[in-house]
Amino acid sequence: MILTKAQYDEIAQCLVSVPPTRQSLRKLKQRFPSQSQATLLSIFSQEYQKHIKRTHAKHHTSEAIESYYQRYLNGVGRNGAAPVLLDLANEVDYAPSLMARIILERFLQEHEETPPSKSVINSMLRDPSQIPDGVLANQVYQCIVNDCCYGPLVDCIKHAIGHEHEVLLRDLLLEKSLSFLDEDQLRAKGYDKTPDFILQVPVAVEGHIIHWIESKASFGDECSHHAYLHDQFWSYWNSSEEESLILWLKSPMFLKNLLEFCWIST
C-alpha cells in the first residue's frame, strides 16, 4: 500500500498534539489501522524530531537549565523514587533523554573538579550505572527507557534496523545474481562518501537505469529527501552523474517489493 501525500499530512497533523509516548503510538495505530506500525513509528519519530529542533534553544538557556535543575533537586528531595525527570520532560514538552542529558551535565559541573567531556556524558547515558549518584542514575535510566525518539537505546535500535535492511538488500542482490561493490569495498578503493551498493553492471527497473542503491530504514518524507540530497546524494551524482534507486522503509518487508520505492533522478 502506497501512502499518499494527503494521508501523510493527515497523520502528521494528528501528531501535533500527541505526546511522544508508547501509549500515543497505540492510539495512532487505532486511528490509522491500514498503516503499518513501522510506518507510523517512523513518521512519529521524524515529526517529533522536527518539533524538538524548533524548540531546542529555549531549553538550553542558562535560566531554563537552572530552573530544571532546581525542580529536579526539589522533586527527588520529596521522593527520590518518583519519575521526577520523566515527568518534568513531559511537562515542558522536551525529549526525556535530552532532559536527562541537561540535568546530568549540570550535576557533574557542580560535583566534579573539571567540566565533564562529551564522551564522559555519552558514556554515562549509555550506562547510567557509571553516574556517581544512585538517585540520578535511576532518574536518567527512566528517561532513557521511556524515550521512543531520542537517546542511546533509540540510537542502538535505529542502527540495528539499518544494518538489518542493508543485509536484506545484500541478500536480495545476491539472490538476483547482481554484481556489486559494498561500502567497505568502495572505501578500500578510496571513495569518501559512498552509497550502500554500486552495481558493477547497471540494471533497468521500470525504464530507469540503476547504477547505485541507497537503503534508508526510515520514512522518506520531503524533509528527509532534502536533507539526504544535501548531505549524501548530490555527492554521489557529482562523482558519477548516474541515476539511482533510493529505498525507504515502508514496512518490515519493503525490500521484497521493489514497487515501494521513491525515485530521485538528475
Distance of CA 224 to the CA centre of its chain: 11
Which of 196, 159, 166, 193 minimizes the C-alpha distance to 180? 196
| Domain definitions of the chain by residue range | 5-56, 60-150, 154-248
Contact 101, 125 (CB under 8 A): yes
* Cell representation of residue 96: 526525556
pTM: 0.77
* Cell representation of residue 22: 508508547
pLDDT at 42: 79
pLDDT at 197: 87
**3-class SS of residue 25:** helix
pLDDT at 261: 38
pLDDT at 15: 78
Pick out the chain residues at pLDDT < 50: 239-241, 250-266
pLDDT at 159: 87
User: Residue 241: left (phi > 0), alpha (psi -120 to 50), or beta?
Assistant: left
Quick count: other Cβ atoms within 10 Å of Cβ 89?
26
Instruction: Calculate the CA dihedral of residues 169, 170, 176, 181 and round it to 10 degrees.
Output: 120
| φ, ψ for residue 214, nearest 5 deg | -120, 130
